[in-house]
């Protein structure tokens, strides 16, 4: 528990910061779904008086523990999971190495990427309230923070999918197509 004096302005600031943190923990794998903010969230909430047994704080500890890689004689902590980034790079590498752009595996990966497109209003909207909600984030669940490099890598990869597959992807993006991408849209040449 923090021991510093709390005047009205400081108390208000701490309450606003706590609310900000709690809002960003919803539908995420920890604040920012990455090591530094998860650790800082644990410290901040504990300093605000949250016991480690509190559901919010214990969930953050679990998210931190998920980042651990333990072997027989070492314990390392990875910074985050990067499935969206990794999948986009893999799609690009497969197509560039000669796998047909209409291959069923490429189509499945492209569909998976499209399903990961963020639709929430993240913190970036502070500077552009009228922008459409979209973009991709690096991790499994980090809806407040889509990022430019992951978004550009996903778009680059999706642009290489076979033309019929791109039509199916656009239809899915508009909400016209549900479920798995149609195999007939990805016939190999």
**For the chain, what are the domain ranges?**
8-77, 83-180
Please report the pLDDT score of residue 187 as a whole number: 40
Per-residue pLDDT tens digits of the chain, which is 189 residues long: 666 777 888 889 999 999 999 999 988 898 889 999 999 999 999 999 999 999 999 999 999 999 999 999 999 999 999 999 999 999 999 999 999 988 989 988 998 998 888 877 777 777 777 777 678 888 888 877 888 899 999 989 998 887 765 666 666 666 554 444 434 343 443
Task: Return d(Cα 150, Cα 123) in angstroms, integer.
Answer: 17
Enumerate long-range contacts of 123-131, CB under 8 Å, 24 or more apart.
123/24
Tokens 């913190």 correspond to 123
Q: Is 102 helix (H, G, I), strand (E, B) or coil?
A: coil
- Tell me if the pTM is above 0.85: no
Q: Which of 61, 86, 77, 55 lies closest to 157, judged by CA?
A: 86
Please report the pLDDT score of residue 164 as a whole number: 61
Within 8-79, strands assigned E span 68-70, 75-77
Please report the pLDDT score of residue 62 as a whole number: 95
Contact 55, 25 (CB under 8 A): no
Residues with a known catalytic role = 149
Please report the pLDDT score of residue 178 as a whole number: 47
């Amino acid at each position: 528990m923090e021991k510093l004096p709390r005047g009205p302005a400081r108390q208000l600031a701490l309450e606003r910061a706590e609310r900000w943190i709690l809002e960003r923990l919803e539908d995420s794998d920890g604040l920012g779904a990455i090591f530094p903010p998860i650790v800082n969230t644990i410290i901040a909430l504990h300093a605000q008086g949250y016991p480690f047994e509190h559901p919010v704080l214990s969930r953050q500890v679990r998210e931190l523990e998920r980042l651990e890689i333990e072997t027989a004689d070492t314990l390392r902590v990875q910074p985050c999971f990067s499935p969206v980034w990794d999948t986009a790079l893999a799609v690009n590498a497969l197509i560039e190495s000669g796998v047909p752009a209409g291959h069923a595996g490429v189509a499945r990966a492209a569909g998976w990427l499209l399903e990961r497109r963020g639709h929430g209003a993240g913190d970036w909207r502070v500077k552009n309230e009228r922008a459409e909600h979209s973009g991709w984030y690096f991790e499994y669940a980090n809806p407040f923070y889509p990022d430019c490099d992951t978004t550009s890598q996903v778009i680059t990869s999706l642009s290489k999918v076979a033309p019929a597959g791109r039509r199916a992807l656009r239809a899915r993006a508009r909400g016209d197509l549900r479920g798995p991408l149609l195999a007939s849209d990805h016939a190999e040449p």
